[in-house]
Structure 1
Amino acid sequence: MDPCMKLSLDLPETSYVYDDTAATRSVSKPMAPTSIVAKVSPNGLIELSEHFYINHSKQNEPIRVEVQLKAEGIFLRRETGVPDEVCEQRIPLSDIIGSSCGPRMKKSHRGSLVSCRRIDEDTEVENGTRKDICAYLHIYAYIKSETSDKSSVRRERTVRILRFRSFDTYEENLKVAERWQHAIRINQSAVKNQLGEKQLLIFLNPKSGKGKGREMFHKQVAPLLKEAEMPYELHVTAHINYAREFVRKHNDLLRCYSGIVVASGDGLFFEVLNGIMEREDWRAITRGLPIGIIPCGSGNGLARSIAYLYKEPYEPKPILYATLTCVAGQRAPMDIVRIDSGKEGKSSEIYSFLSVGWGLIADIDIESERLRSIGATRFTFWSIRRLIGLRTYTGKLSYLRCEQKNERKTYGKLVSSTSNEEQRLPPEVQEFHDIPNPPRDERPDNSRPLADAEEDDEFADAISLDGASNQSYVDSWHSAVSKHTAYFSLAAQSLRSRRSVLSRLETINLEYENRRPPSTLPTLDQPVPTDTWHTEEGEYVMVHAAYTTHLSSDCFFAPQSLLNDGIIYLVIIRAGVSRSQLAQFLLGTSSGTHLPKEPNEYIEVVPVRAFRIEPCSDKEGIITVDGERVDYGPIQGEVLRGVINVMVPSPNCTN
């Protein structure tokens, strides 16, 4: 690491002031005024370069710093006094979260995340003239680096301040500062998927984090959102299912908000997810509004999973790092699992993003709720208690094994997995053009042109052409097997018919948008297929279905899981397992070493696409979905791949 970079990362908050005319004010030797070198690259990115100066108490001459804005980021090159030696620092654009431009700001010392405050302008103006004519550009960045032992990564807050005073008035200096700020935003838009100008919808659970959720938000989250210039609307939940009811009933979610952020544990994310899935326009909401999570609770499995998969730091500042993820503007598709449960003929459908548990881990999670005041330690304490009083549960377990990881499930249909870009593009795309009517002797069965057909039969005629010989219509929009896309224009005589067709298509599309994802599973009162499903009966210590890497911040449960792999990892622990094996299993969950490397008759992990758990009805127990207790009885789930979008960190552009 170069000296300049090391200097900027050794402190929790680094702030340097670069002055574009400091040299002319501090030394007798005159220096030529600096100038901005501007360049626009072919892809629209702006490059700026300007010299700034830092007064150093131990040197007569000011230190010259060249600041350059490029596509890769902001470069700061400082002279070292040694010939042909320059100290350089690069701040990647992906690490810059925002900037502010204006008069001098006063630094607050109440905490490293509290933003600078503007000095009262009345104290800066005398006799109608501004005393300080300088304009300041504050650049806020959270630079990613390795720790000293290179065992983990961290992000440290770095503030770079550019002071402009080459001109004689504040307004002229402000124009130059704003030019830099605008150029930074233009270049950032090329490397970030900005959430847009709409505000974030944030739900805060005030009881999360030992009842300090509100305090943690205002001290750690709000200042960072201010630095990122991210508008938001904060809702403090007043009761259980407050967030669920809000997102289910709000009519203008897409119009008013650019995303939804949950500042709590996994329970509030569960509410938001199911509130969305209960809406008629759930497809549009899941496509248009990414969901983010800031871990203010005790579990925090999803936030930890996202950080792990994107190689982002989590400890020791999980709230800070997760907030950076929410303002990064990136999104990724994520699987959810549709859960059918029921008892005594009552069935219900909910949607899960984390796990389904029956037995040991579910018991520990729910029964330790009485110790919530001691924080995450409650899980350790109750694990010891459950090991001493070990329980087993009798029932039937069925599952549909996932044989290949490259298979993709699209609501009942299996296709080979491809990249997102490949899934969006058709095999062939031809130019935008009208399709001419072929001569009568070249049309199948000498049929009439479409424009001459009867209006009432036009749609049926178009569909019937799919069965014709492979002539001119095979590669038109009429053919269901066509590998081409094209624009088709109907003749004026068929305008009424075209409207009729479009009306029918709109009706079909509306019905599709409002329809729930169709289930491929039999109902709970029907048996599962015996030819494709595996079924077994016996006694179990635990059955846990997981689809994220972490169940909580310190429970690394499914190391191979991805956000959008279409796989449920079913962990089965059968009766007969020794307490020492169970202890090793529970201890290994913190590091992901709990799963057996070799086949084990008591502990097994099976990748599946669907599962069913049927406990014996003569004994009560606990079943959880995403940590929430549900009715004890038969339950089944199937994975729905990539249904929602979650907020994820920006790509690592530091290399």
Structure 2
Amino acid sequence: MTSNDYITGNGSSTATKRSSITVNRNGAAPPIELSENFYIINKRKSNVKIQVKLNGAGIYLRRETEESDQINEQLIRLEDIIGSRYGLRIKKNKSALRSCKRISDVEDDGSVSAAGVGANGEPQKDSSAYLYIYAYVKREKPFRRNQTVRILRFRTHETYEQNLKIAERWHHGIRINKDGSHNWAMERRQLLILLNPKSGSGKSRQLFQNQVAPVLKEAEVSYDLQITTHSNFARDLVRTRKDLLKQYSGILIASGDGLFYEVLNGLMERSDWRLVSQHMPLGIIPCGSGNGLAKSIAHLYNEPYEPKPILHATLACVSGKTTPMDIVRIEFGKSAKSTEIYSFLSVGWGLIADVDIESERLRSLGAKRFTLWTINRLISLRTYKGKLWYLPWEKESNDKKVSINNHNKANDNVTINNGNCYEDVKPQNEFVDTTEFHDILEIPEVDLENDDEFEDAMSLNASSHLNVNSWNSAISRQTAYFSLGGQSSIRSRRSILSKIETANAELEAKPPTATIPSLSMPLSTDTWRYEEGEYVMVHTASTTHLSSDCLFAPESQLNDGIIYMVIIRAGVSRSQLIPFFLNLSTGTHLPESPTEHIQVIKCRAFRIEPQGEEGIITVDGERIEYGPIQGEILPGVINVMVPNGK
């Protein structure tokens, strides 16, 4: 069978029947099982029987020919199927799928006649219902996903309505098996898609219509497309949209990394950022020049990227899978009042940052602009003086870390700071608010009419004889539940509940609490590493790729709690720099062991203090005020859309 076979049903559909719908303890529905025999006509004008089965593994096809005993089998895995559509036959036109073409009908007695013409030669009305199954099967050679369309024609019954019910049963069976729920149609909300028409070479609108929209249609994903009109359009929309969680199931960014940066910061500026960051996954469609995040996701999940990065990224975004991702809290500014932003990609000072910003004049060349400007900057090499601080990452610390959105109760010998769980690590900022709230599950013999006794109960610590569960400052996502036993008035109960709701609301609205000193405060050399000198560049990354052709941090994971910092010191020769940049595409640019001039460091926080007034510092490719800057990792704060596993 080719990838676009047209299969005609000519038999009774069988299904695994259940008297009632059951749901597993984890909320997933049991897989639907369906089976039916179909026929196609080959070039020799003979019928070929195909048995098609749907189960929890996918669509299984078993092909038998009348002239030989040869049997061919194929399994289209469930994770490769993105959707299906049922109804009338899709006619061939410019907007229709190319797999649909005029083919022959199989009559009830097995004879073949022209489509729409009965055995007696008279025109007849087609009562068939059709099911179109869309899948993208991964191939290793060449490494890519190929579209596979299977068309099932149901004509067991005399009326279209009866055949349509069978096609609908198969359609729903595929969805139920994929989503694990019988209520999938009610649970699916539309995606909010933000598209920058000027991203990359300025063709993102056309790329979306030609490559993204067809896949979304095949996957039955409804969406609200918003075209950005100016800088910070996406940031303002995400920050101020009150019905974000109610209206949308996720946000899809069809642009470069710059628009993702806007959306991330708009999300983190919301008062309900904790809730939104957990339930509003972000997806990326690489329509820009750099596309570092999209390539990082494809790389980590062993998914194809080239030659159709937009197609492959769209398939990842409709898979329904998400995973936590680290972000970096950034503080910068020379004045006493510093600015706070959030990064997901990188922070640059020196050579790579210069190339990123100064090559903007060549934006029309797309990704090639980075290569051309790198050559130019290597010829006229610059160095920058400054101070560098970093807080080393330790493996044993990472084993015990927990994300802000997914933390558990910590062990007694572990200090929890801002969602990170590090053994024997104390916060460096003595002004950090360490006030703890408690969930009091039982309050024996407490007079709920007395506000003083209520406040005393709130202040009890974990060593109390009461059953107490700590909130661990502003990072906790737990809610305080109070057992309101005994006799109490409705007024006192409402008063207590009102106080609890107010406290919860205030806590949820707090931004992530810093675990390191503010930018204006000194750092301790007891825990921080320090050096001062002259640098060609200092560049940090929290993803594998800075752009689609720059594998900057090969060991990085989306949620490993590590910032990878690459330092190139003054005195490095061009003979060392040239192979460094040539090998960036393969990830072999880093030395196996630290050298005098090139070093890679794993850290969880850093501070850069440039000297002088001229230079470029970038955060996720965006230029910021030149001056002191620091960052700290926040593990697993947001969720991103990813493919169906490695």
For the criterion TM > 0.5, the same-fold answer is yes
1:544 to 539, 542, 552: 539
* Alpha-carbon offset, residue 203 of structure 1: 0.8
Q: Note the aligned Cα RMSD (angstroms).
A: 3.1
> Retained in 1: the 8 A contact 2:347–2:617?
yes
Q: Does 1:214 align with 2:214?
A: no
CA distance in 2, matches of 1:215, 1:311: 28
Q: Which residue of the partner structure matches residue 187 of structure 1?
A: 177
Q: Which residue of the partner structure matches residue 72 of structure 1?
A: 57
Q: Which residue of the partner structure matches residue 34 of structure 1?
A: 12
Q: Does 1:589 align with 2:584?
A: yes
Q: Does 1:515 align with 2:506?
A: no
Secondary structure, in 3 states, of the residue corresponding to 2:523? Answer: coil
Q: Which residue of the partner structure matches residue 643 of structure 1?
A: 637
Q: Which residue of the partner structure matches residue 223 of structure 1?
A: 214
Amino acid aligned to 1:74? I
Q: Does 1:459 align with 2:459?
A: no
Secondary structure, in 3 states, of the residue corresponding to 2:175? Answer: helix
Amino acid aligned to 1:325? A
> Retained in 1: the 8 A contact 2:419–2:634?
no
Q: Does 1:406 align with 2:399?
A: yes
1:261 to 216, 238, 252: 252
CA distance in 2, matches of 1:463, 1:630: 43
CA distance in 2, matches of 1:137, 1:635: 57
Alignment of 1:328-477 (within 5 A): 328-345=319-336, 347-404=338-395, 405-408=398-401, 411-412=417-418, 414-415=420-421, 450=445, 455-460=450-455, 462=457, 476=467
Output one character per residue of 1:371-401: Cα deviation in whole Å (capped at 9) or x when no partner.
1111211111111111111111000000111
CA distance in 2, matches of 1:553, 1:464: 52
> Retained in 2: the 8 A contact 1:167–1:173?
yes
> Retained in 1: the 8 A contact 2:176–2:184?
no
Q: Residue 34 and residue 283 in structure 1: after superposition, are their counterparts in 2 closer, same or farther (change >3 A)?
A: same
Q: Which residue of the partner structure matches residue 4 of structure 2?
A: 15
* Alpha-carbon offset, residue 222 of structure 1: 0.7
Q: Which residue of the partner structure matches residue 525 of structure 2?
A: 530
Amino acid aligned to 1:637? G
Which structure dedicates a bigger proportion of its chain to helix?
A: 1
CA distance in 1, matches of 2:454, 2:160: 68
Q: Which residue of the partner structure matches residue 280 of structure 2?
A: 289
Amino acid aligned to 1:568? I
> Retained in 2: the 8 A contact 1:94–1:191?
no
1:45 to 19, 22, 31: 31
Q: Which residue of the partner structure matches residue 200 of structure 1?
A: 191
* Alpha-carbon offset, residue 348 of structure 1: 1.0
Moved more, 193-202 or 342-351: 193-202
Q: Does 1:56 align with 2:39?
A: no
* Alpha-carbon offset, residue 497 of structure 1: 3.4
Q: Which residue of the partner structure matches residue 559 of structure 2?
A: 564
Q: Which residue of the partner structure matches residue 108 of structure 2?
A: none
* Alpha-carbon offset, residue 501 of structure 1: 2.5
Output one character per residue of 1:33-74: Cα deviation in whole Å (capped at 9) or x when no partner.
4342324597522111111111223154x1110000111111
Q: Which residue of the partner structure matches residue 136 of structure 1?
A: 130
> Retained in 1: the 8 A contact 2:350–2:383?
yes
Q: Does 1:626 align with 2:604?
A: no
Q: Residue 242 and residue 19 in structure 1: after superposition, are their counterparts in 2 closer, same or farther (change >3 A)?
A: same
CA distance in 1, matches of 2:625, 2:544: 26
Amino acid aligned to 1:38? T
Moved more, 183-192 or 639-648: 183-192
> Retained in 2: the 8 A contact 1:142–1:157?
yes
CA distance in 1, matches of 2:462, 2:317: 51
* Alpha-carbon offset, residue 107 of structure 1: 3.5
Using structure 2 for the length normalisation, give the TM-score.
0.84
1:96 to 81, 84, 98: 81
Amino acid aligned to 1:415? C
Q: Which residue of the partner structure matches residue 441 of structure 1?
A: none
CA distance in 2, matches of 1:505, 1:47: 48
Gaps of at least 5 residues in structure 2 are 25-29, 103-114, 118-122, 405-416, 424-440, 473-479
Q: Which residue of the partner structure matches residue 145 of structure 2?
A: 155
* Alpha-carbon offset, residue 499 of structure 1: 2.8
Output one character per residue of 1:344-365: Cα deviation in whole Å (capped at 9) or x when no partner.
4452111111000000100111
* Alpha-carbon offset, residue 462 of structure 1: 4.6
> Retained in 2: the 8 A contact 1:99–1:139?
yes
> Retained in 1: the 8 A contact 2:13–2:34?
no
Q: Residue 540 and residue 477 in structure 1: after superposition, are their counterparts in 2 closer, same or farther (change >3 A)?
A: closer
> Retained in 2: the 8 A contact 1:329–1:647?
yes
> Retained in 1: the 8 A contact 2:6–2:40?
yes
Q: Which residue of the partner structure matches residue 420 of structure 1?
A: none
Output one character per residue of 1:447-494: Cα deviation in whole Å (capped at 9) or x when no partner.
xx526676435535656887888xxx65x468999xxx9994523435
Q: Which residue of the partner structure matches residue 29 of structure 1?
A: none
* Alpha-carbon offset, residue 241 of structure 1: 1.1
Identity of aligned residues (%): 59
Q: Which residue of the partner structure matches residue 504 of structure 1?
A: 499
Q: Residue 394 and residue 111 in structure 1: after superposition, are their counterparts in 2 closer, same or farther (change >3 A)?
A: farther
> Retained in 1: the 8 A contact 2:4–2:149?
yes
Amino acid aligned to 2:320? G
Amino acid aligned to 1:543? V
> Retained in 2: the 8 A contact 1:115–1:223?
no
> Retained in 2: the 8 A contact 1:137–1:162?
yes
CA distance in 2, matches of 1:454, 1:59: 88
Secondary structure, in 3 states, of the residue corresponding to 1:589? Answer: helix
CA distance in 1, matches of 2:500, 2:84: 47
Output one character per residue of 1:305-335: Cα deviation in whole Å (capped at 9) or x when no partner.
0111111111111000111111111111111
CA distance in 1, matches of 2:268, 2:481: 34
Amino acid aligned to 1:188? K
1:573 to 568, 571, 591: 568
Q: Residue 490 and residue 480 in structure 1: after superposition, are their counterparts in 2 closer, same or farther (change >3 A)?
A: farther
Instruction: Count matched residues.
Output: 581
CA distance in 2, matches of 1:142, 1:108: 22
* Alpha-carbon offset, residue 527 of structure 1: 1.3
CA distance in 1, matches of 2:163, 2:281: 39
> Retained in 1: the 8 A contact 2:282–2:640?
yes
Secondary structure, in 3 states, of the residue corresponding to 2:201? Answer: helix
* Alpha-carbon offset, residue 204 of structure 1: 0.7
* Alpha-carbon offset, residue 599 of structure 1: 2.3
CA distance in 2, matches of 1:461, 1:630: 47
Amino acid aligned to 2:401? R
CA distance in 1, matches of 2:575, 2:470: 64
CA distance in 1, matches of 2:568, 2:138: 40
Amino acid aligned to 2:36? E
